[in-house]
Structure 1
């Protein structure tokens, strides 16, 4: 049997399909194994390169196989799909992973650490709680509107809700009042859970030097700094700042042909949550931009005189993403540059 140099694994919940190749790209073997069988088999296998799609469970398996001496690589599923030959099946997917990993220009995903995965889970839980809290507020508004009671926008009305219910007590059925009170209690519970998760994230940020340096960037708050520190990881996995901004989807989408360049809106690729947070940070910075006298403030004010505020917000978010990459990649602090006076 030829020496195996590359193994592609199509991941599943219980079954894993392996496709092994030698250095010339010829198939050596194909196997369908369980999780425990795969770990036992690869634990006794000579060190080689193991490639998987970056999906659920991939980061944990990559850490385990890396500890066994294998070189583990993760590929985004969208880059594997074009290499599937013929009909789609699990072994064909494993072979396509090997084919994609053999391309010299292929881009890989850096496996996350346990800490990064835990923080990412905290952020996902917080997002789910915020969505549920917003849904609860909308339900309260909708139920009262059905009985002719219109409330002002915003979550602050929850504090005045008992007074509103007391004022219209004679107009509302007792069961509806009880239901509204139940929703109000649920809102308070969700609000408390969100605060606890944010406290955990803030505590983690205090213990992380990288997160503290990200907080020095204008407009960047604790939540965005925590997400950036987690998503960027080792910033040197991106060749430069523009590559990171492109991975978040904050660069123009191209549709160029015949030598004629055509630039459209932002590509919206990558992590939409991180992109949304960066744009929100940019909008918060723009609200106080008149008070900034540094080069960043001067650049933003000049952009606002020429372009729409939405375009400026995306451009400023792009700049914030590049600054964050430079700080983490070079291990430096944010430097507030003053504008150069005209000679």
Structure 2
């Protein structure tokens, strides 16, 4: 009854939905990267919103002969009308914030390790071997004295070392934020009373479950 091609923006979608002449009972869409943005945005606009499980939607739409964006939209509307879907639990903005913080921390740590391994490999070419285990904090202090008398190594490795130091400093800052967030959270403090559970594991568990009532039951 109404078809429009719009940008994936809450304001644009809600404006067109309000222009629809008939009452709208429910708004539905397939789970994806923009799910949280659309779900909470349209919900704040006063619509009853449901996010549908992607595999079920894909299985239903696979029966269509011509798979286009337009036909997919019609198929999703039909699935929503019939109710043949499982709703997806939408994590809170807080949970997504914790996951983003943990993901950023992990990404910076991995990049720091990658640069350290690159430096190790280049040093071996020139017959310089580092100890098997070197802490992240002391890596720079060990490598720079080894190359200070070789102009070739200085020009090749100093930019890598500088980049690694910058990444490591940002990693340390995110690591402090993670530990601070865990220490200020009642659920994480309870989880960390379990042997072997630290702030990283506690925050990951909380961000994954994202259900305060379930936390209270499991941590009691």
Q: Does 1:97 align with 2:79?
A: no
Q: Does 1:228 align with 2:205?
A: yes
Measured at CA, do residues 133 and 103 of structure 1 come closer, stay the same or move farther in structure 2, by a change above 3 Å? farther
Q: Which has the higher strand share?
A: 1
Unaligned runs of 5+ in 2: none
Question: Which of 103, 107, 123 lines up with 1:124 in the alignment?
Answer: 103
Q: Give the structure 2 partner of residue 160 of structure 1.
A: 142
Deviations 1:47-76 (A, max 9, x none): 522222222222022112112332222234
Q: Does 1:33 align with 2:33?
A: no
CA contact (8 A) 2:57 2:85 kept: no
Paired with 2:85 and 2:181, the residues of 1 have a C-alpha distance of 34
CA contact (8 A) 1:100 1:106 kept: yes
Measured at CA, do residues 211 and 71 of structure 1 come closer, stay the same or move farther in structure 2, by a change above 3 Å? farther
Q: Secondary structure at the match of 1:52?
A: strand
CA contact (8 A) 1:52 1:73 kept: yes
Q: Does 1:142 align with 2:29?
A: no
Q: Secondary structure at the match of 2:219?
A: coil
Q: Secondary structure at the match of 2:42?
A: helix
Q: Give TM-score scaled by structure 1 length.
A: 0.54
Deviations 1:182-237 (A, max 9, x none): 3222222211111111222222223322222222233221112112211211267x
Q: Does 1:52 align with 2:25?
A: no
Q: Does 1:328 align with 2:203?
A: no
Deviations 1:121-174 (A, max 9, x none): 2222222212211110111011111112222334426142234335xx3xxx40
Instruction: Give the superposition deviation at 1:105.
Output: 7.1
> Over aligned residues, Cα RMSD in angstroms?
2.7
User: Bigger relative contact order, structure 1 or 2, given CA contacts below 8 A and separation 6+?
Assistant: 2
Paired with 1:235 and 1:79, the residues of 2 have a C-alpha distance of 28
Measured at CA, do residues 225 and 99 of structure 1 come closer, stay the same or move farther in structure 2, by a change above 3 Å? farther
Paired with 1:218 and 1:76, the residues of 2 have a C-alpha distance of 36
Q: Give the structure 2 partner of residue 25 of structure 1.
A: none
Residues paired across the two proteins, number:
211
Q: Secondary structure at the match of 1:226?
A: helix
Q: How does 1:269-284 map to 2 (within 5 A)?
A: none
Q: Give TM-score scaled by structure 2 length.
A: 0.81
Paired with 1:73 and 1:67, the residues of 2 have a C-alpha distance of 13
CA contact (8 A) 2:14 2:45 kept: no
Q: Does 1:62 align with 2:20?
A: no
Q: Secondary structure at the match of 2:6?
A: strand
The range that moved more, 68-77 or 127-136, is 68-77
